[in-house]
């Protein structure tokens, strides 16, 4: 039996594999789940954006008041090992399936690895090796989304959007 085609496209390719979407890959930042069965690399150490998401799905799935997410293009991520043990979850249909957008976790320890969209991935910075001050600063939160669904106020001076950023009301930090 052949593997599904998505396993041969970013972000699921290995670091040495190429495709039309990714001609080459340079390992810059390592990520791993709690048990170590899933290991991945990012070819960029500077995310496009870093957000706190306060949506109800993130609150329930992560068992926390919010999710911290760093956004990268899919081609900037490559799995070194563990793709075969990933679990996928489609929040819209509440089904365990790889249908975009979906949440991806380790099938062994349950660590949340990423949210996969059509063009981007949202990775969990807590799984990354951020061992310098500069790297940690690259992952400073820039804004909140779905802040209208927040569990607790966070008066941090960051932009706060009622829903998606730039597509909903910008709320004031009271």
Buried b / exposed e along 147-166 (16+ C-beta atoms within 10 A): bebbeeebeeebbbbbeebe
3 in a structural domain: no
36 in a structural domain: no
Mean pLDDT per block of 10 residues along the chain (174 residues) reads 70 86 90 98 97 96 96 96 96 95 97 96 97 96 98 96 95 80
pTM: 0.91
pLDDT given for residue 13 in this prediction: 87
1 in a structural domain: no
d(CA 123, CA 44): 12
153 in a structural domain: yes
38 in a structural domain: no
13 in a structural domain: no
DSSP state of 119: S
pLDDT given for residue 1 in this prediction: 44
pLDDT given for residue 92 in this prediction: 93
User: CATH number of the domain that 127 lies in?
Assistant: 3.90.1590.10
Give the structural domain span for 102.
Answer: 46-171
pLDDT given for residue 6 in this prediction: 79
Q: From its phi and psi, is residue 166 left (phi > 0), alpha (psi between -120 and 50) or beta?
A: left
5 in a structural domain: no
Q: Which of 113, 138, 131 is nearest to 123 (CA)?
A: 113
d(CA 134, CA 112): 24
30 in a structural domain: no
Question: Count of domains in the chain?
Answer: 1
């Amino acid at each position: 039996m052949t593997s599904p085609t998505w396993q041969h496209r970013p972000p699921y390719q290995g670091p040495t594999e190429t495709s039309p979407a990714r001609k080459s890959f340079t390992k810059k930042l390592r990520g791993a789940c709690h048990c170590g069965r899933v290991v991945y690399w990012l070819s960029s150490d500077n995310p496009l954006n870093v957000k706190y998401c306060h949506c109800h799905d993130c609150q329930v799935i992560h068992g926390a008041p919010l999710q911290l997410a760093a956004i990268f293009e899919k081609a900037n991520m490559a799995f070194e090992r563990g793709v075969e043990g990933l679990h996928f979850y489609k929040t819209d249909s509440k089904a365990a399936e790889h249908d975009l957008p979906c949440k991806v976790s380790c099938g062994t320890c349950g660590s949340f690895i990423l949210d996969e969209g059509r063009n981007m991935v949202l990775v969990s910075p807590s799984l990354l090796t951020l061992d310098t001050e500069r790297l940690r600063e690259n992952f400073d939160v820039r804004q909140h989304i779905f802040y209208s669904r927040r569990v607790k106020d966070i008066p941090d001076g960051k932009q706060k959007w009622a829903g998606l950023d730039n597509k909903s009301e910008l709320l004031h930090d009271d």
